[in-house]
Amino acid sequence: MSVAVILPAHEEMDWIGPCLDSVLASTGALPAARDIIVVANACTDGTAAVARERTAAAAARGWTLTVIETDRPGKLAALNLAEAQTGARLRVYLDADVVVSAPLIAALCAALDTDAPRYASGTPVIPVPRSRVSRVYGRFWQTLPFLTQDAPGFGLFAVNAAGRARWAAFPDIISDDTFVRLQFAPSERMRLEQTYLWPLVEGFAPLVRVRRRQNRGVTEIAERFPGLMENNSPASPGGMGVARRALRDPIGFCVYAGVALTVRTPIFARKAEWDRGR
């Protein structure tokens, strides 16, 4: 068995070090053949240099770390470039601002060690944001069915060889995680108890921009790949579910609803680009 951690990175100098360090600190039964492939796409900062600083540490821990620099922008192009460099049977797709817990990579490998097509992710944990509005938004958002009843895979998802065979190259789309998740029926998706840290954007305006981008990403997939939507699990809590959540957390509901409503206003009706809001 072999595993490749595929890590596209654009202007991630401040984040990629802790991300890579967490992968290198992985414990448990890891495949003997294990690679990390960083693609620094259209970076003007020190992303590639920070990643290369981990080369020796990676080798000492049994990993092969490859850093590729490309002038071509775009996360999907970076994913395709990384995949051209590997024949690993298991593939973990990781965002550069994510920090994995020590047992997660090994747990993903164990869960995906099957000939049946499978998709897996860990349990996301949102570090406490500095911004109060983001703290309140995140508190409410984490109670929604999409996060509690599925394996959403934002920031981190993994597939085995049979699962990866379900699509060719990554298309030029907004939401790679949604595209991959919907290649699998709910029964083929696994949410593992092992955790990873996924930071929420800070502040109201960045929340709106990212939420709008997420919405556009789902709409794009529904329009371009309508057949995939059959694998979508219910994402709405329904009227009664919303009412119960609003009663339990009225402030959280107001902030969450405020972001959702603002997304529809003309000032944010622009082309969705990658915007983490940092």
97-128 confidence digits (pLDDT tens): 999 999 999 999 999 999 999 999 999 999 99
In the predicted model, residues of the chain with pLDDT beneath 50 are 271-275, 277-278
- C-alpha to C-alpha distance for 258 and 160, rounded to whole angstroms: 39
pLDDT of residue 121: 98
Percent of the chain with pLDDT over 90: 82
Residue 148 has a pLDDT of 80
Contact 157, 93 (CB under 8 A): yes
Q: What is the average pLDDT value for the chain, to the nearest integer? A: 92
pLDDT at 278: 47
